[in-house]
Amino acid sequence: MNEAKLKKLRSISKEIRKDVLRSLTEAGSGHTGGSLGLADVFTVLYFHVLKHKPHKPDWPDRDRLILSIGHVAPVLYVALAHAGYFPKKELQTLRKLDSRLQGHPGRDHGLPGLELSAGSLGQGLSVAVGMALAGKLDHKDFFVYSLHGDGELQEGSIWEAAMSASHHKLDHLIAIVDRNEVQIDGKTSEVMELEPLADKWRAFGWKVFHCNGHDHKEIYNTIQQAKKKEGKPAVILAKTLMGKGVKSIENDHRWHGKPPAKEQLSDFLNQIEENNAI
């Protein structure tokens, strides 16, 4: 990744964070922490990794991105809008009646680019396994990326899916875990310990990678590593900060599920500008 590209991606992330804050503030409810924390991962995926055609969302050979943690829908919607799937002004309809931008993603509302209706934790990896099996059966070469929260890994169904992905040698399936070490009630280590997390995935037959989830270059290089087909699925444990970009709320689990108040918005937008100076 050259400097120009890197600069471009950073600037996209900054704009994505701002639109996440704007749409959540307008909505008056929703999940700020995780949406900000995943902005860099989403930027790298939608603007440098995914093989996709925003003007042709159903293109059969596209890479699939499954968002298992439906509550961070705002960052997905903003990334899709910035990628050209639908007009950015629609972001202001988030969580409102008749909007295509449901609180948790709902395909029944017809938003282009949305691969899955999801919101009940622990289900997305199974769906990703199904998509990967279909791709294999049809000799397609698309990749399936599946995005998860770390707290979500406490759901048993995740491990059922993990077992089946390695059993069926799905080496075109890449799971990315938002490892911010927090969940609604507090630190994951206090709510329900996940460590040794890498060992768990390895024991289930996965290749494990780590990266700084806010370093675009590192995210991209790690995904390139993970894409090497070696008969095993890959998981990337992306170390992130909940609320990344707004210093005053970073790593504060109380910001998991609330939006900025109207009077906080300009301060938060200023913090994004300062913290992401290019």
Query: Which residues would be at the binding site for other proteins (CB under 8 A)?
Result: 60, 106-108, 115-120, 122-135, 137-138, 156-157, 160-161, 163-164, 167-168
- The partner in contact with residue 263, picked from other proteins, Mg ion, none with C-beta cut-offs of 5 to 8 angstroms by kind, is none
Contact 94, 28 (CB under 8 A): no
d(CA 104, CA 201): 27
Give me the least distance between CB of 239 and Mg ion, in Å please.
Answer: 11
**CB closer to other proteins out of 161 and 223:** 161
Does 150 help bind Mg ion (rule: CB under 5 A)? Answer: yes
Cα 167 to the chain's mean position, in Å?
25
**CB closer to other proteins out of 98 and 108:** 108
Identified binder of Mg ion from the candidate list 119, 151, 233, 260, rule CB under 5 A: 151
- The partner in contact with residue 180, picked from Mg ion, other proteins, none with C-beta cut-offs of 5 to 8 angstroms by kind, is Mg ion
d(CA 230, CA 255): 39
Give me the least distance between CB of 126 and other proteins, in Å please.
Answer: 2
Per 3-state DSSP, the chain is made up of helix, strand and coil in percentages (nearest 5) of 50, 10, 40
Give me the least distance between CB of 179 and Mg ion, in Å please.
Answer: 7
Give me the least distance between CB of 227 and Mg ion, in Å please.
Answer: 25
Peptide linkage before 87 cis (omega within 30 of 0): no
d(CA 70, CA 93): 17
- Pairing relationship of beta strands 173-179 and 64-67 according to DSSP bridges: unpaired
**CB closer to other proteins out of 142 and 220:** 142
Token pair listed for 162: 């993990």
Total residues contacting Mg ion (rule CB under 5 A)? Answer: 5
Identified binder of Mg ion from the candidate list 23, 99, 166, 180, rule CB under 5 A: 180
Does 250 help bind Mg ion (rule: CB under 5 A)? Answer: no
Return the closest-CA partner of residue 20 out of 263, 244, 210.
244
